[in-house]
Amino acid sequence: MTATSAVIGLAWREARAARRRLALLVGAIAVGTAALVAINAFTANLRRSVAGEARALLGADLSFASRARFTPRVDSLADSLACGGSTGCGNRATVTSFAAMAYVPARAGVRLVRVTAVQGGWPFYGQITTTPAGAWSTLQGARVALVDPALLTALGAAPGDTLALGRLRLPIAGTVDRVPGDIGIAAAFGPRVVIPGALLEETGLLQFGARAEYEIFLRLGPEQDPDAIAKQHRPALRPERVRIRTVQDEQQSLGNALERLGRFLGLVALVALLLGGLGVASAVHVFIRQRMETIAVLRCIGATTRQVFSVYLIQAAGIGLVGSVVGAALGLAVFVALEAMVA
Amino acid sequence: MLRCAGLTQSYPSGNQALTVLQDISFEVTAGEFVAVIGPSGSGKTTLLGLLAGLDRPQAGRVWLDGAELTTLGEDARARLRGAKVGFVFQSFHLIPTLTARENVQVPLELRGEPGGIRAEELLARVGLADRTHHYPAQLSGGEQQRVALARAFSTSPKVLFADEPTGNLDQRTGARIIELMTELNREAGTTLILVTHDPELASRARRILRLADGRLVADTAA
């Protein structure tokens, strides 16, 4: 047996009899570490899922938005971008939305709604849930409308009823239940009515001076960098009052909020750990003070300063290590429980 | 074996220094049994601490087995104690969180030697073969002092310092401890320095050093 292993053995045996007090120290460290681990894991996971969902929030890689009809120049730019990728054309969708009055003749009900005319395969990413299922994909070729469930409730209408939008008459084919990135409260200002983009002109509602939001959504090839494209074209498009948005932009604005939340929670956990650390420090201080006689005896029977210091350093390091490992495990458990609760 | 010359020690007390030891010189040869006696406060324990290198004197020098303690640093003196010195104290001073066997083992382990078997042997020698796994709190005073004796002898020291080893024990138990100590001393050929104020105990020694007010006032062969 070497002197080193003797010191380790002594540290272990000397700690053994004071197990209950040591368990308290381990517990204090574990709780602080657990809080930190749980919060960090939770915010990291939140950030990761935001990154994963960001494309679905936009539904595309890149979007152009304008308050007026796009000029031919913007139109052809979008076309060239949509066809520039290796995936061919057909990666372009147009969404026009505006406020209008919807009328259901059978119920004699009128409501202010938000009309969304979709042309093309938007959304390219993410799923829109409808009732009946799959109604979204057949919308393009059909002469039907999909509406917000809130509209049916408000007007007492049912699928199959005819809906009038300006001069256009369409049967309600079903409801749009979930759109990624959509905020529930928006429906309160005007329930959504989705119609195929090809029928937009038939409504006769978009006259001179009509307030509408025009958007072009693009899906890009893997070799096209949406942010580089956005950066390149932004200056030229600014005079035309066309805004370019990318997944990164969406992610950033959402990410900033999460970042702040994460930092705040992290700070709380750190303060908790710091306070816990103070507690641990004073507890260790008392622990060592109680060991003074033992230390004196050890010195008396031939222990060097280094050996005595090592014995208690090993004990303190052991407490720290066990506390951290237990805390990390505890933190992960809390994180998993928290996730199960949120999901 | 053990020699000191001109040992002087004083502590600051209020504005003036309190002199505890003054100009103590003597020599002890190997295997001797020396008792240091004197009334309380005469400086016996202080002298013991200086001879064992636990403390440094203000003036004077100490040689232990050829090495001059007074020139050595803290750790060198600790190593020297581990190699050549054994201690027995009035209040036993066992490590409360270790078992009897582990307490006996510690001095050997600090030197990097396995102490298990030697500890068992020594505990058997002091009559505690069936108490090896007991903690100090589970042992009587006499038993604790016997463990302390086993610990002191575990490293086969050249010098054993005993500071009032029977002070906390009843007379019968104390007598047994002294018997055991002198036996072990004879067997191992250890030099024994015993501090006591008990004249009867001192009479067992072959030489008596009498201290009074920090001075060596008598050095007599018993």
Q: Report ipTM (2 d.p.).
A: 0.88
Cα separation, A300 vs B111, in Å, equals 13
Instruction: Divide the 343 residues of chain A into consecutive groups of 10 and give the mean pLDDT of each group.
Output: 75 80 83 85 80 76 88 85 66 89 88 90 84 85 89 88 91 86 62 90 86 88 83 86 84 78 82 80 83 89 89 88 92 88 71
Let me know if A274 is exposed, middle or buried by CB neighbors in 10 A (0-12, 13-18, 19+). exposed
Compare CB distances from B87 to A17, A294, A301 and report the shortest one's residue: A301
Residue with tokens 């494309």: A55
Q: CATH code for B29-58+72-221?
A: 3.40.50.300
Tokens coding B27 = 């020599």
Cα separation, A210 vs A147, in Å, equals 22
CA of B87: which chain A residue's CA is closest?
A: A301
CB A155 within 8 A of CB A127: no
pLDDT at A230: 86
3-state secondary structure of B16: strand
Best mutation target among B55, B101, B106 (most A Cβ atoms within 10 Å) is: B106
Cα separation, B222 vs B205, in Å, equals 7
pLDDT at B158: 92
Compare CB distances from B112 to A3, A15, A16 and report the shortest one's residue: A3
Instruction: Divide the 222 residues of chain B into consecutive groups of 10 and give the mean pLDDT of each group.
Output: 92 84 93 91 90 91 92 90 91 91 91 86 91 93 93 92 90 87 86 89 90 91 76
pLDDT at A1: 46
Amino acid identity, position A188:
A
pLDDT at A343: 63
Is A162 touching B (CB cutoff 8 A)?
no
pLDDT at A183: 54
Contact B75 A305 (CB under 8 A): yes
CB A69 within 8 A of CB A211: no
- Note the pLDDT tens digit of each residue in B167-197: 888 888 888 888 888 888 888 889 999 998 8
Contact B109 A2 (CB under 8 A): no
How close are the terminal C-alpha atoms of chain A, in Å? Answer: 55
CB B45 within 8 A of CB B195: yes
What are the φ and ψ backbone dihedral angles of A243, each rounded to 5 degrees?
A: -95, 140
Characterise A160 by phi-psi region: left (phi > 0), alpha (psi -120 to 50), beta (else). left
pLDDT at A87: 56
Tokens coding A210 = 């009509």
Q: How many secondary structure helices (H) and strands (E) does chain A include?
A: 10, 10
How close are the terminal C-alpha atoms of chain B, in Å? Answer: 20
| Count of all residues that appear for chain B in the document | 222
pLDDT at B192: 93
Q: Which residues of B touch A17 (CB under 8 A)?
A: 96-98, 135
Q: Which residues of A touch B151 (CB under 8 A)?
A: 301
Q: Give the distance from CA B71 to its chain's centroid.
A: 21
